Amino acid sequence: MEVTFKIFRYNPEKDERGNYVTYKIDAHPNDRVLDVLEHIKGKEDGSLSFRRSCAHGICGSDAMRINGRNMLACKTLIRDVGDHITVEPLLGLKVAKDLIVDMEPFFENYRKMLPYLINDSPLPEDGKERLQSPEQRARFDETTKCILCAACTTACPSFWANDEYYGPAALMTAHRFIFDSRDEGAEARLEILSETNGAVRCHTAYNCTEACPRGIHITQAIGELKLAMVTGNID
């Protein structure tokens, strides 16, 4: 089938502003958007720039806007998005070149959540493991699935309005550690989340939940964080 690809192009060394370039490609319905982008880069226009790494929905490198929705190019089949496809960079982050955005503000927010296990207590007497029941592990299982692709954060209207808002992905990181029974850093993280640019900036638009390529119930998890901030219950 012939597919019309309309791709956002921007070269900071040449262009004052971005523009769209259209490519007509012969593709199979089961091809992924990433396959077609690689075909364009390899055969049609080597200057096209986009991020990709594992190409199997795990690394989160190739999040982009496909027909107006945030998706991973490696998990999106041509047959699911039709024969006229518009590909654009993520919203809310500065475009570095073509489909590549500057992810630094996103990762800066991520780092603010203290994204590592905090536990200064001595090891248990057997000296080996901090035990955790299956139920305690299940409590934060959902948010361990986050691959930091930024599809959620860049789909959030609160983040579009104010990029100082930590954003859904950072909040998922906080959720992953706060509800981990082995972690002892909940107090510090809840204090960070209580700031003006913290969890209260989430107005439950649900864009993040819809955009997440991993199917994480992000808005629900943010709700759990807000409740933990008010009640103090992190079980």
Q: Which residues bind another protein (CB under 8 A)?
A: 121, 124, 130-133, 136, 157-158, 161-162, 164-165, 181-182, 186-187, 190-191, 194-196, 198, 200-201, 203, 226, 229-235
In the complex, the smallest distance separating the C-beta of residue 205 from another protein, rounded to whole angstroms, is 11
Q: Is the Cβ of residue 1 or residue 117 nearer to another protein in the bound state?
A: 117
Residues 61 and 37: beta-carbon distance below 8 Å = no
What distance in Å separates the CA atoms of residue 13 and residue 31, rounded to the nearest whole number? 32
Q: Is the Cβ of residue 4 or residue 144 nearer to another protein in the bound state?
A: 144
- The encoded tokens of residue 105 equal 């503000």
Q: What are residue 96's phi and psi, to 5 degrees?
A: -85, -45
In the complex, the smallest distance separating the C-beta of residue 128 from another protein, rounded to whole angstroms, is 13
Residue 4's Cβ-side half-sphere holds a number of Cα atoms within 13 Å equal to 5
Measure CA of the first residue to CA of the last residue in the chain; give whole Å: 53
The total of other beta-carbon atoms located within 10 Å of residue 56's CB is 10
Q: Is the Cβ of residue 91 or residue 200 nearer to another protein in the bound state?
A: 200
In the complex, the smallest distance separating the C-beta of residue 154 from another protein, rounded to whole angstroms, is 15
In the complex, the smallest distance separating the C-beta of residue 155 from another protein, rounded to whole angstroms, is 15
Q: Is the Cβ of residue 16 or residue 235 nearer to another protein in the bound state?
A: 235
Task: List C-alpha distances in Å: 49 to 96, 99, 229.
Answer: 10, 6, 42
CA–CA–CA angle 207, 104, 154 (5° rounding) = 10
Q: Is the Cβ of residue 82 or residue 232 nearer to another protein in the bound state?
A: 232
In the complex, the smallest distance separating the C-beta of residue 17 from another protein, rounded to whole angstroms, is 23
In the complex, the smallest distance separating the C-beta of residue 211 from another protein, rounded to whole angstroms, is 18
Taking alpha carbons only, the member of 117, 188, 112, 106 closest to residue 155 is 106
In the complex, the smallest distance separating the C-beta of residue 51 from another protein, rounded to whole angstroms, is 28
Q: Is the Cβ of residue 29 or residue 232 nearer to another protein in the bound state?
A: 232
Helix pair angle (218-231, 167-178), 10° resolution: 60
**What's the burial of 131, exposed, middle or buried (CB within 10 Å: 0-12/13-18/19+)?**
exposed
Q: Is the Cβ of residue 53 or residue 162 nearer to another protein in the bound state?
A: 162
